[in-house]
């Protein structure tokens, strides 16, 4: 019996609990064993019944009667648990973590799939060092276009910049209103009107920040003042490096982006100092060198305020600024960078003469009500904000009445009456009442007048007036590969216009140009500078929306690859090997020979096409003019002055000549058109192969 008990105790327990099973006679024939199994079964049944009635009863089989009987743990169902890296975790917890994570990853991947790509800048060569296409923008504050004519002998380098083989200029560039330094420099950098970029004056009150912006305070560097995104921020986001030498604006934007190199404004810094700084960064190694450089020259503006636009101070400042331009161009030529660096010279506004005899005293107009003025924005124009609770309508009526009686010395505007062309009527930062003086006049008060010297007023020049006035216009010059391409495109357009219909076309009728020889563009808004720099730096895909025209520069660029390839029309021009962006120096055949061959093949093809076009139209124009002169020679002499009959006869002869010329040259034109379409098809194939190869090389 004891042997059977020991055997039963030592035997392993089956998978199913024996306490829940009765004796199985089939498993044993021993009577003692059968009796033992029966006793065990009865005991187990009684224990189970007691457990159901009182789960925590004392286990009588326990050595210690005081220890409670523990409820047996149920093994958790495996379907509610997952094993991850050897650790069991509840399925609900895993799903709680995994589902949001997968959603975040999906959103990131979707955004990356739709995020515009930024092409890498090509690597060029100056013959000794690699370079990326570089854009250098220089601002000469307060330089008006009239100086180019009135002081031509003082700015020979600037004039030569526009007349050089690789240079051009605009007749003028229109600033934004108000024509002040900070609103216009920020408009140049962002492509936005002041009502959109937030800097509505040099000094102003911002209701959204409940504070006053003072351009001379370092608090003005707080990015919350500055709306929009400047070109140097876009360049940094696009993987470029940017340099800012004293341009108005903050060192860091609200998105945390800063230029790679920032030189804060120093009042005593000379143009020569800034030239050294520009060249220092241009001479950096390729991986550290900025591709976008900004330099600010305030000398002409400071001299204009002090002595007036016709003063000797301005003349000396112009000479210093012109020397800076001349030395800069010489330094670029010495480094063989004339077809790698796009030099753009602009100004922010012009300058007008003023005096102590052209002042409008606001406190005289409002009288006792002047104490209700809480904030005054800008100068020489005034944006007015009256204290809460004051009678604003009565104050406005008094100002409008005074403006009518002022013989045009100033005007009073509200958001509703502001001229639409100023784009200065929306946004809470624009004061609800604005007083704008006539050219040369200044709105002030007696306290401000005395603070600035009273009868010995030291300010002889001023700006901030209507942005359509000639004295307020700015300048635009360009030198480098951009200017070369744009001039070449303009000359081809002139030849095509000449060949189409000389009875309609006149010299200078090329769209966007006042003259093609010398190259002078028609006036355009300064907001377009932003889109130009974005195109030159190949950042258009990530550039933010602006107030500029999206297609302004389309008519000036020859083709989609124009910002990385020079266009040559004149076969007589002698080229240096280092001038070509696709020279053998740039692409060693030991690195990626297939890509090199495609790049070179594309460039050579384009140059052949350009030369062919030039020769065709040059010959066509010569023949056309010779035949037209011969046909006009058959006309009888016209009376002096010509009568309407003479003009009608001349027009009839020209029209008949043009029809005859078209018929006589039809075969020649058809042959050229076929060749032209063939060139286009070849261009498409080569461009596709070049783009694919560039993508693979990245």
Token pair, residue 646, equals 């003479």
Kindly list the distances between the CA atom of residue 163 and the CA atoms of 137, 158, 170, in Å, as whole numbers in the listed order: 18, 9, 11
Dist. CA 301–CA 289, nearest whole Å: 30
- Beta carbons within 10 angstroms of residue 329's beta carbon: 23
Closest CA to 464 of 428, 485, 489, 438: 438
SS3 of 609-676: HHHHHHHHHHHHHHHHHHHHHHHHHCCCCCCCCCCHHHHHHHHHHHHHHHHHHHHHCHHHHHHHHHHH
Which residues partner with 131 through β-bridges?
Answer: 124
Residue 90's DSSP bridge partners are: 81
Annotate 106-139 with b (16+ C-beta within 10 A) or e (fewer). eeeeeeeeeeeebbebbebbbeebebbbbbbbbb
* DSSP labels, 533-592: HHHHTT-GGGPPP-SS-TTTTTTTSSSTTGGGS-----TTSPPPGGGSTT-TTTS-TTT-
> Going by DSSP bridges, is the β-strand pair 433-437/382-386 parallel, antiparallel, or unpaired?
antiparallel
In angstroms, the CA 42 to CA 36 distance is: 10
Long-range contacts of residues 102-106, Cβ cutoff 8 Å, at least 24 apart: none
Give the span between the Cα atoms of 546 and 530, in whole angstroms.
Answer: 9
3-state secondary structure of 45: helix
- Per the CB < 8 A criterion, the answer to whether 32 and 2 are in contact is no
Give which of 316, 302, 317, 312 is closest to 351, Cα–Cα.
Answer: 302
Conformational region of residue 249, where left means phi above 0, alpha means psi within -120 to 50, and beta covers everything else: left
Q: At what angle do helices 181-190 and 528-536 cross, to 10 degrees?
A: 40
Q: Are 544 and 234 in contact (CB under 8 A)?
A: yes
Going by C-alpha positions, the residue among 255, 362, 327, 238 that lies closest to residue 291 is 238
Query: Could you tell me which residues are beta bridge partners of residue 359?
Result: 442
**Is the distance from CB of 487 to CB of 516 less than 8 angstroms?**
yes
Catalytic residue among 134, 181, 354, 444: 181
Radius of gyration of the chain (CA): 41
Structure tokens at 671: 């042959």
DSSP states of 9-33:
HHSPPPSS-GGG----GGG---HHH
Confirm if 433 and 384 have CB atoms less than 8 A apart: yes
Do strands 524-525 and 173-174 pair parallel, antiparallel, or not at all (unpaired)?
parallel
Question: Rounded distance, CA 139 to CA 293, Å?
Answer: 11
Respond yes or no: is residue 643 known to be catalytic: no
Q: Which residues are catalytic?
A: 181
């Amino acid at each position: 019996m004891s042997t059977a008990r020991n055997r039963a105790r030592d035997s392993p327990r089956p998978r199913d609990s024996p306490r829940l099973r009765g004796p199985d006679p089939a498993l044993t024939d021993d009577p003692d064993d059968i009796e033992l199994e029966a006793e065990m079964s009865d005991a187990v049944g009684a224990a189970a019944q007691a457990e159901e009635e009182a789960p925590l009863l004392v286990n009588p089989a326990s050595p210690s009667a005081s220890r409670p009987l523990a409820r047996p743990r149920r093994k958790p169902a495996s379907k509610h648990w997952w094993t991850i890296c050897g650790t069991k975790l509840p399925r609900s917890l895993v799903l709680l973590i995994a589902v949001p994570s997968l959603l975040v990853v999906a959103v990131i991947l979707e955004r990356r799939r739709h995020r515009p790509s930024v092409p890498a800048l090509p690597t060029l060569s100056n013959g000794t060092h690699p370079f990326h296409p570089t854009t250098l923008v220089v601002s000469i504050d307060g330089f008006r276009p009239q100086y180019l004519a009135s002081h031509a002998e003082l700015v020979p380098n600037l004039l030569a910049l526009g007349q050089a083989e690789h240079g051009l200029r605009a007749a003028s560039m229109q600033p934004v209103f108000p024509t002040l330094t900070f609103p216009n420099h920020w408009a140049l950098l962002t492509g936005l009107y002041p009502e959109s970029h937030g800097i509505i004056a040099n000094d102003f009150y911002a209701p959204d920040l409940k504070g006053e912006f003072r351009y001379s305070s370092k608090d003005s560097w707080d990015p919350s003042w500055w709306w929009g995104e400047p070109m140097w921020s876009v360049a940094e986001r696009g993987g470029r490096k940017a340099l800012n030498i004293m341009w108005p604006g903050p060192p860091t934007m609200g998105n945390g982006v800063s230029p790679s190199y920032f030189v804060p404004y120093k009042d005593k810094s000379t143009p020569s100092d800034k030239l050294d700084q520009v060249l220092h960064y241009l001479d950096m190694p390729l991986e550290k060198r900025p591709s976008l450089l900004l330099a600010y020259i305030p000398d002409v503006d400071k001299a204009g305020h002090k002595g007036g636009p016709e003063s000797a101070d301005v003349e000396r400042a112009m000479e210093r600024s012109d020397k800076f331009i001349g030395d800069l161009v010489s330094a670029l030529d010495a480094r063989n960078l004339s077809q790698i660096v796009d030099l753009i010279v602009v100004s922010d506004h012009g300058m007008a003469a003023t005096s102590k005899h052209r002042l409008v005293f606001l406190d005289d107009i409002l009288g006792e009500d002047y104490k209700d003025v809480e904030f005054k924005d800008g100068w020489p124009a005034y944006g007015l904000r009256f204290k809460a609770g004051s009678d604003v309508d009565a104050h406005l009526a008094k100002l409008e009445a005074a403006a009518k009686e002022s013989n045009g010395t100033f005007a009073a505007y509200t958001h509703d009456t502001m001229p639409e062309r100023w784009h200065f009527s929306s946004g809470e930062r624009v004061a609800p009442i604005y007083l704008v003086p006539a050219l040369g006049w200044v709105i002030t008060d007696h306290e401000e007048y005395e603070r600035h010297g009273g009868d010995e007023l030291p300010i002889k020049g001023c700006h901030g007036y209507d942005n359509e006035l000639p004295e307020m216009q700015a300048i635009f010059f360009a030198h480098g590969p951009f200017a070369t391409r744009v001039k070449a495109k303009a000359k081809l357009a002139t030849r095509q216009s000449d060949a189409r219909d000389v009875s309609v076309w006149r010299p200078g009728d090329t769209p966007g140009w006042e003259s093609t020889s010398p190259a002078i563009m028609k006036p355009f808004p300064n907001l377009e500078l932003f889109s130009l720099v974005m195109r030159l730096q190949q950042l258009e895909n990530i550039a933010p929306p602006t107030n500029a025209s999206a297609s302004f520069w389309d008519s000036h660029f020859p083709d989609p690859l124009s910002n990385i390839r020079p266009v040559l029309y004149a076969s007589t021009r002698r080229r240096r090997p280092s001038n070509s962006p696709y020279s053998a120096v740039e692409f060693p055949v030991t690195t990626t020979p297939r890509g090199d061959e495609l790049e070179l093949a594309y460039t050579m093809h384009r140059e052949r096409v350009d030369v062919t076009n030039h020769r065709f139209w040059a010959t066509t124009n010569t023949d056309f003019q010779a035949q037209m002169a011969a046909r006009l020679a058959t006309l009888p002499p016209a009376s002096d002055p010509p009568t309407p009959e003479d003009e009608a006869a001349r027009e009839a002869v020209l029209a008949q000549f043009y029809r005859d010329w078209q018929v006589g040259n039809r075969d020649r034109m058809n042959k050229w058109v076929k060749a032209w379409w063939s060139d286009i098809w070849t261009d498409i194939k080569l461009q596709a192969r070049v783009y694919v190869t560039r993508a693979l090389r990245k």
